[in-house]
Structure 1
Amino acid sequence: MGIVGTFAAEGINANTALLKLYIKNMVCIRCKMVVKDELVKLGLHYALIELGEIEVIENITNEQREFLKIALLKSGLELMDDKKSVLIQKIKNAIIELVHYSEDPLAVNLSGYLSDKLHYNYTYLANLFSEVQGITIEKFFIAHKIERVKELLVYNELKLTEIAYLMHYSSVAHLSNQFKKVTGLTPSHFKQLKDKRRSMLDNL
């Protein structure tokens, strides 16, 4: 059922104004479930729940907003108001979604991807991110690529050549060099340590 259908089911027409709320650290499926539960508790209806962003159908009272803010904080989530903080979180969520939740090979131009998705000049986004976070967008992107590579190595379903292709590295050597620069280990050494730890746990 689409948004219009959802509205009809709730007795709300498709022209109803939506209130967008932005939530820090909302970067996983479990986080989305937590937000859904808290909205239901407050009797609020949503049209959309994405990573870091929700659209609520009705207006929220100050009391409801405060209750939601407190409830989310208990789960490590934060309702944001500051425009710069919201934009920083949008950048993070866009990168996390691209790296961790896309099923296609990571063959995208990062600057073009972020500009198109967030409707801001990339230079502005890059400068803002560096100023607030103390690291570049590129380093944040690389850190998440390496985390994704770790996950794929642990799953043990893909060869390193396949992982390199999926994560858009020019070669296995390129992947290995970047992996070692970030983690201090080669991919094969990392995998050996994980396999050894798993074997020890299995023998307990």
Structure 2
Amino acid sequence: MVVKSEFEKLGLPTISVELGEVELEKEITENQKETLLKNLQDLGFDLLDDKKSKTIEKIKNLIVDLVHHKNSELKINLSDYLASNLNQDYNTLSNLFSEIENTTIEKYFISQKIEKVKELLIYNELSLSEIADLLNYSNVAHLSNQFKKITGFTPTSFKQSKDKTRIQIENL
């Protein structure tokens, strides 16, 4: 809504505004682009208009959406999921992601899953076994080992600690 209102303030009619992507009715001028960029940056957003940045952002958005909103689809193969949604070869996507982000798609995916585990632990509504099942871990031990490797804590010690800090999605 915030992004859409910025486009409207500048008189730039949009066709659609979705997470990480805006489709405009017509091309914008360089002056409009500069003004839009400044306004978006003031609000904590950025303007991506090169193909590589757009692809990286799409990969991140698909992974965030998968982990945080489509738990039932976590059972599918991540490489197949990304390749089919982006209509590109997974190796190409993987190489591009690693080159630009200095981490692998798999590590980014795992960090998103661990943040989701933290969120679910903080809410304290599900058992560790239910969380493992929800996020498609083979078992609780696998989840616990991955959680400790990433955070330095076991899930139980994280749950009991007073400092239950989570990392903002955009900072992963």
Instruction: Tell me if the contact between 1:105 and 1:165 (Cα under 8 Å) persists in the aligned partners.
Output: no
Give the Cα separation in 1 of the matches to 2:164 and 2:35: 46
User: 3-state SS of the aligned residue for 2:103?
Assistant: coil
Q: Aligned-pair distance for 1:194? A: 4.1
Deviation of 1:104 after TM superposition, in Å, equals 2.7
Q: Which runs of 4+ in 1 moved over 3 A?
A: 194-197
What is the total number of aligned residue pairs between the two structures? 165
Q: Secondary structure at the match of 1:67?
A: helix
Aligned twin of 1:166? 134
Q: For the Cα contact (< 8 Å) 1:154–1:194, is it kept in 2?
A: no
Q: SS of 2:17's equivalent?
A: strand
Residue 157, structure 1, aligned to residue 125, structure 2: yes
Q: 1:80 aligns to what?
A: 48
Larger Rg: 1
Shift of 1:196: 9.0
2:108 partner amino acid: F
Q: Percent identity?
A: 58
Give 3-state SS (helix, strand or coil) of 1:49's partner: strand
> Could you tell me which of 92, 95, 102 is aligned with 1:127?
95
State yes or no: 1:110 paired with 2:78.
yes
What's the CA shift string for 1:81-120, capped at 9, x where partnerless?
A: 2211211111111111111122535212100000001111
Which ranges of structure 2 fall in alignment gaps of 5 or more residues? Answer: 166-172
User: Structure 1: how far apart are the matches of 2:57 and 2:101?
Assistant: 11
The residue type equivalent to 2:97 in the other structure is: F
Instruction: Tell me, yes or no, if the aligned pair for 2:67 and 2:74 is still in contact at 8 Å.
Output: yes
Note if 1:51 corresponds to 2:19: yes
- State TM-score, norm by structure 2: 0.89
Matches within 5 A, 1:16-27: none
Q: Deviations over 1:2-32 (max 9, x none)?
A: xxxxxxxxxxxxxxxxxxxxxxxxxxxxxxx
Structure 2 counterpart SS, 1:185? coil
Counterpart in 1 of 2:2? 34
What root-mean-square deviation, in Å, do the aligned CA atoms of Structure 1 and Structure 2 show? 1.8
Is contact 2:122-2:164 (8 Å) kept?
Answer: no
Structure 1 CA distance for aligned equivalents of residues 126 and 147 of structure 2: 16
